[in-house]
Amino acid sequence: MPNSKLKQAFESGKFVVTAEAGPLKGTDITELEEIAKILKDKVDAVNVTDQQSSVMRLGSLAVSHLLCGWGIDPIYQVTCRDRNRIGLQSDLLSAAVLGIQNVMSLTGDLPAAGDHPQAKPVYDLDSVSLLSVIQALNEGKDMMGNELKGKTDFFAGAVVNPGADTEASYELQILKMEKKIAAGAKFFQTQAIYDAILFEKFMKRVEQYKVPVLAGVIPLKSAGMARFMNKNVAGVSVPQSMIDKISKAEDKTSTGIEMCADLIKQLKGLCRGVHIMAIGWEKKVPQIIEAVGI
């Protein structure tokens, strides 16, 4: 099996662009297919979220497989919240057989945050130990050291939050990043960035690791959305100047796209690419890319 398109994109030295496709709540995949057609050939890979925000949806494994069939390189997100080590390893083997090559390891939000708050969390593993499991599967062994009949060939990724709001939490993010690299992470995607100067400081701090980092960006739709993230999303800080600009804009959609493109231009020289988390604006991702000029 050839290397993943995402891995090839990193190796080519190009500015890499990834996006997201969140599975919907139900079996109707019409909208997913529409998003896939719009994103195809515009981005290098598409993340498929795994029960994002602990809300029950169609599974990331099935959607990742669908994206493969639609000619898109998926990044199969796997969270540790809902499955034990047997289920996680089995799903990863299934993903490999289905031709999925990129995997994103996540610990996962607590069930209390979602639409089934009574659900029991598993957390048998965390994002670091899951990366070690993926590395073992790539070497032809399960978590217990048992030989596999056919090994995986995953390109494994992880997340990092450069916007930690205290020095202690900032250092903890760096430490976790080190552990994830040691466990087998080959690339990183970040929490949403809105301040290029702070992000540059983070990138200088981690440049020694020589691992590609994709800066996460979320286009703003309204001032209310910005204030909500500032209040509720750890490590995300939207500057007041951006809130004022979107608040005063007559055409908030065009302004949101323009602001996101301007931010990406500022980040372009600092990292290996961007991860655009459009959150309902997936069909506008090509417009953002075009406005950046890549």
pLDDT higher than threshold 80 for residue 3 = no
pLDDT digits (tens, 9 = 90+) for 77-90: 999 999 999 999 99
pLDDT higher than threshold 60 for residue 1 = no
Percent of the chain beyond pLDDT 70? 99
Average pLDDT taken over every residue of the chain: 95
Nearest to 26, CA basis, from 79, 1, 78, 62: 62
Query: Of 31-35, 203-207, 235-239, which gets the smallest average pLDDT?
Result: 235-239
Task: Check residue 251 and give its pLDDT.
Answer: 96
- Rounded to two decimals, what is the model's pTM? 0.95
pLDDT digits (tens, 9 = 90+) for 230-258: 998 878 899 999 999 999 999 999 999 99
Domains identified in the chain and CATH numbers:
5-215 (3.20.20.220)
pLDDT higher than threshold 60 for residue 160 = yes
Query: Of 44-48, 68-72, 105-109, 160-164, which gets the smallest average pLDDT?
Result: 160-164
pLDDT digits (tens, 9 = 90+) for 5-19: 999 999 999 999 999
Question: 3-state secondary structure string, the chain?
Answer: CCCCHHHHHHHHCCCEEEEEECCCCCCCCHHHHHHHHHHCCCCCEEEECCCHHHCCCCCHHHHHHHHHHCCCCEEEEEECCCCCHHHHHHHHHHHHHCCCCEEEEECCCCHHHCCCCCCCCCCCCCHHHHHHHHHHHHCCECCCCCECCCCCCCEEEEEECCCCCCHHHHHHHHHHHHHHHHHCCCEEEEEECCCHHHHHHHHHHHHHHCCCEEEEECCCCCHHHHHHHHHHCCCCCCCHHHHHHHHHCCCHHHHHHHHHHHHHHHHCCCCCEEEECCCCCHHHHHHHHHHHCC
Q: What is the dihedral sign for C-alpha 248, 250, 256, 257? A: negative
* Crossing angle (nearest 10°) for helices 196-206 and 252-267: 30
Q: Which residues of 70-88 are buried (b: 16+ CB within 10 A; e: fewer)?
A: bebbbbbbbbbbbbebeeb
Q: Under a CB-based contact definition with an 8 Å cutoff, are residues 64 and 96 in contact?
A: no
pLDDT higher than threshold 80 for residue 2 = no
